[in-house]
Amino acid sequence: MTEPSGRAAGGVARAKGLTAAQRKSIAQKAAAARWDSADLPQAVTSENRNSVRLADTDIDAYVLDDGTRVLSQSGFLQALGRNKRAAMRSSEIPPMLQGKAFEQFLTAELLELGQPVHFRTRGGLKANGYRAEFLPQVCEVYLKARDAGTLAPNQKKIAAQAELLMRAFATVGIIALVDEATGYQDVRARDALAKILEEYIDRELQPWVRTFPDDFYGELCRLRGLELKSAMVRRPQYFGHLTNDVVYKRIAPGVLDELKRVTPRDEKGRTKNRYFQHLTANLGYPKLREHLGSIVTLMKLSKDWPDFQTKLDQIHPRFGDTMMLQFPEDDGTGL
């Protein structure tokens, strides 16, 4: 049997030494202090899209500004088949785990994970709930108690519900369910893109240095069937379009769009600086040079433009595109 230790063990011991009235008073004062806090975490996802469906039960879900995924207290209890207003008999032990049936399965980590989370919704309302990852842990405790034969008759139906929930979690993790239900996966993607662009794009203009090797343009002309000198003089926009596709769309997601946004243009719409002058010296520019070296190598290994395009899409696919898969030719065996 695993006994609670540390802060959780001390809390359980104190609770046993108090009268029911004293425990209730302490719990009420602690709750009041938490609710009165001016710096409650804030939900960052819309209340219009926050319902997780588990085992035929809809549970309100939120993602807070510190990244915590939260399920509403009432929904949490209902998901387990319990009354959404279940009474708390201890300020240390969550209501769904109170009782002798579960005592031997309570650990310090579990009790800490099961502390209520108080927060504000996007609309500014105060709300409370439990961490989403706590629900699978509670389900596991019920199943362990069932196997140990410690459940009361009225708790066995909750164990059956816990088993249904665990099957659902086996298919899709609870964190993924919350992110999808709240739309946080879109927020997370935007945050990740912003971080990438911050690492690649410099707001300060870097000095011009020779960056694109002669071989890049020489091989580009060979593969496109153009004469190098005349092409360089007569087709600057043509080469710019190809360079954007071959290079900037493939070094990192969103980089080309951001370079277009930060690079000033003259009255004729032509860029005043080269795109690479806006790449960061510590990451963006070195990645560009590395990419160019790989591109030139692929060009030299290609017999024509379609051949190069195939190799390019395999080695350096555009970000956001689905990579083409090469399948072996049918040899007549049906394999």
The yes-or-no verdict on residue 138 having pLDDT over 80 is yes
Residue type, 296: V
Instruction: Round to whole Å and give the CA distance between 122 and 99.
Output: 35
Residues 139-198: tens digit of each pLDDT: 999 999 999 999 999 899 999 888 888 876 765 566 666 776 677 666 665 655 566 666
Three-state DSSP at 258 gives helix
For helices 214-224 and 236-243, the axis angle rounded to 10 degrees is 100
In this structure, are strands 57-63 and 126-131 parallel, antiparallel, or unpaired?
unpaired
In this structure, are strands 51-54 and 57-63 parallel, antiparallel, or unpaired?
antiparallel
Question: DSSP string of 103-126?
Answer: GGG--HHHHHHTS-EEEE-TTS-E
Residues 293-330: tens digit of each pLDDT: 999 999 999 999 999 999 998 888 887 654 444 434 44
Instruction: Round to whole Å and give the CA distance between 236 and 212.
Output: 14
**Backbone torsions φ then ψ of 305, nearest 5 degrees:** -65, -45
Helix, strand, coil abundance in the chain, percent, nearest 5: 55, 10, 35
C-alpha torsion 302→256→250→214, nearest 10: 40
**Poorest-confidence range of 17-31, 84-98, 132-146?**
17-31
**Poorest-confidence range of 57-66, 228-237, 283-292?**
228-237
Res 331: pLDDT = 43
| Residue closest to 273 by CA, chosen among 197, 196, 203 | 203
Question: Mean pLDDT, to the nearest integer, of 126-132?
Answer: 88
Is residue 94 within 8 A of residue 130, CB to CB? The reply is yes
Residue type, 166: M
> DSSP secondary-structure letter at 100?
G
Instruction: Note the pTM of the prediction, 2 decimals.
Output: 0.46
Domains of the chain, residue spans: 6-20+33-182, 194-315
Residues 258-284: tens digit of each pLDDT: 888 888 888 877 888 888 888 888 888
Question: Mean pLDDT, to the nearest integer, of 91-118?
Answer: 87
Is residue 276 within 8 A of residue 211, CB to CB? The reply is yes
* Residues in Cβ contact with 188 at an 8 Å cutoff, skipping those fewer than 6 apart: 179
Is residue 104 within 8 A of residue 68, CB to CB? The reply is no
| Residue closest to 253 by CA, chosen among 297, 306, 201, 330 | 201
**Backbone torsions φ then ψ of 15, nearest 5 degrees:** -60, -35
Q: How far apart are the first and last CA of the chain?
A: 54
